[in-house]
Structure 1
């Protein structure tokens, strides 16, 4: 009737519509809050929850939830004791495995920490319909028959289609005989990830061919390979051609040398030589053309080798002709990817369907090549360049101008003529659109003149750490005009900043930085990155030898300056590349505890909710452990809810973390390689974990 007020409540919607609404919500905390509204919403939330990650101690069986019967994706890798065996052959472990299968009967995707073979012997029979499995192990492989960790999975899960071993500490010889012994399951695999950081060397030619012969239906293959032709049984072009013949349906092929995952780089004075090699790879261009022609379904290709592959533009032009679906391409040590003729598209720039392009250690990549790429690849959303010593800020700027409507993710790393200031100036055309950015924190001028030794520390009024004399890299004659143009047009750090330094990075959500040991983070906000209103996550990697450094002349690395980012809530602080003395330091040197205090000082001023921290390490003792000053400084982060420490911690230091009022999730990951043979430190003992967890869970936490 007209004039009648009709009140419609959300509960009046049909259950099927409400279920669809609930299914679209993925944030765990939001779903938990929704389930507290009423019993109907509680039931709907539980029936639509498809993914869950269990935390806590496996000994507390009464805490295993039994209401998530619709869960299909379960993560057991976060259960503690961290890194210790989840199950053994005891009656209690059998009961735990049965209880997990009863509580989650619909699981088809499993992530689990496998310290010994007994874990999969007990879990695999409980979920025979598993299709997606990710195995996690941070410690050395136990003395056991080859493939004993994976055999139970292949014996009981006949529908297995995806196997992820990227975080699984194993040997390369474990896989080939295991997959060959189970041909039916191996033939059903469509995704195999073997990008394992723990490997000492990549898969050899015969191992890679045996794996692909056992898995002919693979559509995604990721593996570390031994590309160095100086070794016996290295992976060359003939191996790649045979691989393409074994797996013709590949849509994703990611093959990388073991050195590409280390992330280690030389100090800045050696930038001329970073990533380059005088050796040529054993790749024939005609063979590369045959490989590309054999893989017409490719959508993503990564070939990151350890030696130079020269004059590759003819093969890359054929790649565009034969692989019309190609969207993502990453090339490492590929030279001559463009002919550099009048900046006209050729070579890789003819791949007009590319949305992601990464070029690493290409010795002859120039600004003209960048212009050709921008003209020939108009759909580029992601562009990465690393270790290319001939490109300048002018080339990056012209590429950004052409691609300013599409480019949202950029990485500029380890390029001789691109320090932080010039990189930011070059990215001005996409400053309003970019969402993810990586830069190297190189503050001073790259080619300083003898008469002007001033650097950005002096501009910003920040004292520099005591260091030895730097080598001066001579300026190349061909770049003088471009450098003069940059000096005139690029704003100075300090007093008279140009207009673009004041502009906002309106959509930047993720910022990644590399910085050498001994430099400060303070100038970051002075070079044009101070206005990032929606920045949520920052990753910082510190690298270098602390043993060659003097005692810091300032007390802080500069983390407190990140307080200018109002939305910053997640941080990855990776100091694992900082090497020093963990136990005893010689006279005149400082130990890592002083450096940890320097790196972490001021972190309590940030409003972080999640922190991943890699402590510095002493490689001589194979130790990466949290020190007393670091534990005390982390305890000042009162807003933390999740804390992952990628190393070890003394039990007494762990108790410092109880000062954080709302801390819910804590995990210690001894994920450094080679991992220790025996767990002799208290932080890896089950009793230490139990005592800390009991103290952590006994507190009242406001959610």
Structure 2
């Protein structure tokens, strides 16, 4: 009998390609444990690595990852402390050791609290091409202008990508550094300045200076100000200067700083702001004409841009490679009415090559506008709508029907007429193929939103359009009728759960329809927003009762709990998530909950009791990874883990990774040692301004080291 063929019989070249195709970190680690041959091949094909050890233990870092090209040093513990900050021999030796252990690094991410960190690391990787700097602490006092970027000018002569989206500094520093280093600026092809800590963003003159210095940019992301009440606001002249200076742009991302600070907005706002932006359709057309290579465009203006229909039509013709478009505060996107839907589409509906579209705060977008978009942009795989108060479940459901063959990712947020129940009802036609879903948990009912009995449109959805034919999609039902004038009408009605229940004779069909309604077969990621004091428990009853493959959930809780009475229920409702058998990752973000850090007036709860409310029941979930943002008291800049929160987290016995985005007392952290499977714990103050050690009695570097020593004593079975 011939011997059985095994994986080891494959040539090393083929086997190494197979191992290189494995992207999951834990899976790669498991591969390395099979045998020594697989260990060597796995290490030789590892291209990306994130170190999470303590800074004092860096000398123990392995030297077998010689092929790593992307190295992340920003998550080292104690988080936020300077990696290399003193001019000592130890720092020089440590920097040299990192250079020898990872000689092929081309992309680096590092927490650079002081310029000294880059001064030590720069000589080790002189041919670095990608650099991301991280700093949430305040800028060191007494630091000369642009001193943070001196190492870039002096050492990184091959740098092509610079990411400062998580690096707090002065905007003047960036402008001065790029202006004084023409060689560095000329080499940059990607520059990310989308930093929420810049309260006013970059002024118009600064953007002109940056783009004039960086004429080779292909990707440019920047936070700016469009409000003409501020000095240096972005106007037509600014937009034209960007397109003139950087004509090779394939990605342009211009966002008002206020939009970064308030990403959701007020759902009770109808969409129009008091002032208009100083941006004209003519300037937009000229900018689009000067950027023929554009593939991704974001314009989140935060002030009214009216009559944008003609400019968007030119965008379609002038930028033939455009695949992704995000618009904020743009009105008049298309002239949607029954006659135009029959004859010819216009405006944004002509962007037929789009695969991703996000519309934010468009005050006059209606259901007919959504239908026009769905008919014209028939390739959409991702669709986001936020703060559009005139759209309803009817329009969203029609859009879902028409995009049934392509749509896999949807976000519905801050829309007055689309709460949780109505949003899920609208997405029923595509719920069997949606992979990522984001929505608001505003607990409405379909009956509160509108009647779903039927709606008539005086146009034919199956009629050919200029540029293509729209075929009828499954999930929509159409019936042709004729009035006295023999005018053809198209009637579109919605199937509700109750309508299935009324047909007692068709039991088999009813069960099939119920399964279709309740099962989100491909949903992997769910993101929800919920107001403070509201419950999570109704989530399953709203239409998400059956998500067999849901792996990750992001819960954002927002609001001011000061002045709110004690909730009627004991717990937020995390226990209700037990119905999702594959749920392993959770992001519970309570960072935008504001309250009383220490004591509260009579009849109200302080933050520790609110944390108990939100974390109660987490022990019933089989989570392996948890990111938790504690609530805050903005008066004292305190975002700290409380005693009840530490106790409840310690009951989650399956956790392997726990990231607390805040601070904690050492004796609270010691409670987490009861989690036997826990392997990685981090405290991150990744918000501005991050707390300084000398301002807090909470966990310090020496305390962190003691906790990590105790954690490393754990015996981990796998």
TM-score, L = length of structure 2: 0.89
| Pair 1:356 & 2:356 matched | yes
User: How far did 1:675 drift?
Assistant: 3.2
Q: How does 1:164-179 map to 2 (within 5 A)?
A: 164-179=163-178
Give the secondary-structure state (helix, strand or coil) at the position aligned to 1:221.
strand
Question: Take 2:4 and 2:280, find their aligned partners in 1: how far apart are those partners?
Answer: 74
User: Counterpart in 1 of 2:321?
Assistant: 325
Q: Deviations over 1:224-263 (max 9, x none)?
A: 0111110011111210110110100000000101122224
Give the secondary-structure state (helix, strand or coil) at the position aligned to 1:644.
strand
Residues 42 and 532 of structure 1: CA distance in aligned 2, closer, same or farther (over 3 Å): same
Deviates more, 1:210-219 or 1:143-152: 143-152
User: Counterpart in 2 of 1:134?
Assistant: 132
Question: Is the CA contact 1:244–1:295 (under 8 Å) kept in the aligned structure 2?
Answer: yes
User: Counterpart in 2 of 1:436?
Assistant: 436
Deviates more, 1:628-637 or 1:577-586: 577-586
Residues 193 and 534 of structure 1: CA distance in aligned 2, closer, same or farther (over 3 Å): same
Residues 677 and 40 of structure 1: CA distance in aligned 2, closer, same or farther (over 3 Å): closer
Question: Take 1:433 and 1:638, find their aligned partners in 2: how far apart are those partners?
Answer: 33
User: Counterpart in 2 of 1:290?
Assistant: 286
User: Counterpart in 2 of 1:372?
Assistant: 372
Question: Take 1:599 and 1:655, find their aligned partners in 2: how far apart are those partners?
Answer: 21
User: How far did 1:150 drift?
Assistant: 2.0
User: Counterpart in 2 of 1:110?
Assistant: 108
- Partner residue of 1:51 out of 29, 48, 51: 48
Q: How does 1:207-286 map to 2 (within 5 A)?
A: 207-263=206-262, 265=264, 271-273=267-269, 276-286=272-282
| Pair 1:76 & 2:91 matched | no
Question: Is the CA contact 1:301–1:329 (under 8 Å) kept in the aligned structure 2?
Answer: yes
Residues 445 and 532 of structure 1: CA distance in aligned 2, closer, same or farther (over 3 Å): closer
Q: Deviations over 1:337-383 (max 9, x none)?
A: 10123235210010000000000000000011101100101100000
Give the secondary-structure state (helix, strand or coil) at the position aligned to 1:112.
strand
| Pair 1:629 & 2:627 matched | no
User: How far did 1:488 drift?
Assistant: 9.2
How many residues of Structure 1 are paired with residues of Structure 2 in the alignment?
A: 661
Deviates more, 1:140-149 or 1:521-530: 140-149
Question: Is the CA contact 1:316–1:348 (under 8 Å) kept in the aligned structure 2?
Answer: yes
User: Counterpart in 1 of 2:659?
Assistant: 644
Question: Take 1:693 and 1:195, find their aligned partners in 2: how far apart are those partners?
Answer: 34
Q: Which has the higher contact order (CA 8 A, sep 6+)?
A: 1
Question: Is the CA contact 2:396–2:426 (under 8 Å) kept in the aligned structure 1?
Answer: yes
Residues 379 and 448 of structure 1: CA distance in aligned 2, closer, same or farther (over 3 Å): closer
| Pair 1:507 & 2:505 matched | no
User: How far did 1:399 drift?
Assistant: 0.5
Give the secondary-structure state (helix, strand or coil) at the position aligned to 2:638.
coil
User: How far did 1:265 drift?
Assistant: 4.9
Question: Is the CA contact 1:352–1:379 (under 8 Å) kept in the aligned structure 2?
Answer: yes
Question: Is the CA contact 1:541–1:575 (under 8 Å) kept in the aligned structure 2?
Answer: yes
Residues 234 and 492 of structure 1: CA distance in aligned 2, closer, same or farther (over 3 Å): farther
Question: Is the CA contact 2:591–2:632 (under 8 Å) kept in the aligned structure 1?
Answer: yes
Question: Is the CA contact 1:512–1:539 (under 8 Å) kept in the aligned structure 2?
Answer: yes
Residues 429 and 61 of structure 1: CA distance in aligned 2, closer, same or farther (over 3 Å): closer
User: Counterpart in 1 of 2:97?
Assistant: 99
Q: Deviations over 1:98-133 (max 9, x none)?
A: 110011111111111111111001001111011111
User: How far did 1:21 drift?
Assistant: 1.5
User: Counterpart in 2 of 1:543?
Assistant: 558
| Pair 1:39 & 2:54 matched | no
User: How far did 1:491 drift?
Assistant: 4.7
Residues 162 and 543 of structure 1: CA distance in aligned 2, closer, same or farther (over 3 Å): same
| Pair 1:17 & 2:18 matched | no
User: How far did 1:553 drift?
Assistant: 1.8
Question: Take 2:358 and 2:633, find their aligned partners in 1: how far apart are those partners?
Answer: 33
- Partner residue of 1:520 out of 518, 528, 535: 535
User: How far did 1:502 drift?
Assistant: 4.7
User: Counterpart in 1 of 2:415?
Assistant: 415
Deviates more, 1:199-208 or 1:141-150: 141-150
Q: Deviations over 1:173-212 (max 9, x none)?
A: 1111101111112111111111112211111001111111
Question: Take 2:33 and 2:437, find their aligned partners in 1: how far apart are those partners?
Answer: 39
Question: Take 1:110 and 1:217, find their aligned partners in 2: how far apart are those partners?
Answer: 21
User: How far did 1:667 drift?
Assistant: 1.1
Residues 368 and 448 of structure 1: CA distance in aligned 2, closer, same or farther (over 3 Å): closer
Question: Is the CA contact 1:264–1:543 (under 8 Å) kept in the aligned structure 2?
Answer: no
Question: Take 1:665 and 1:676, find their aligned partners in 2: how far apart are those partners?
Answer: 22
Q: Which runs of 5+ in 2 are unaligned?
A: 450-490, 503-509
- Partner residue of 2:681 out of 663, 666, 669: 666
Q: How does 1:453-468 map to 2 (within 5 A)?
A: none
Question: Take 1:276 and 1:104, find their aligned partners in 2: how far apart are those partners?
Answer: 53
Q: Deviations over 1:568-625 (max 9, x none)?
A: 1111111111111012222332201111000110011111111111111111111111
User: How far did 1:272 drift?
Assistant: 2.8
Question: Take 1:391 and 1:156, find their aligned partners in 2: how far apart are those partners?
Answer: 54
Question: Take 1:518 and 1:16, find their aligned partners in 2: how far apart are those partners?
Answer: 57
Residues 59 and 375 of structure 1: CA distance in aligned 2, closer, same or farther (over 3 Å): same
User: How far did 1:677 drift?
Assistant: 5.4
User: Counterpart in 2 of 1:308?
Assistant: 304
Question: Take 2:359 and 2:32, find their aligned partners in 1: how far apart are those partners?
Answer: 47
Residues 234 and 71 of structure 1: CA distance in aligned 2, closer, same or farther (over 3 Å): same
Residues 492 and 122 of structure 1: CA distance in aligned 2, closer, same or farther (over 3 Å): farther
- Partner residue of 2:588 out of 568, 573, 581: 573
Q: Deviations over 1:161-184 (max 9, x none)?
A: 111111112221111110111111
Question: Is the CA contact 1:166–1:193 (under 8 Å) kept in the aligned structure 2?
Answer: yes
Q: Which runs of 5+ in 1 are unaligned?
A: 450-484
User: Counterpart in 1 of 2:182?
Assistant: 183
Give the secondary-structure state (helix, strand or coil) at the position aligned to 2:109.
strand
Residues 500 and 7 of structure 1: CA distance in aligned 2, closer, same or farther (over 3 Å): closer
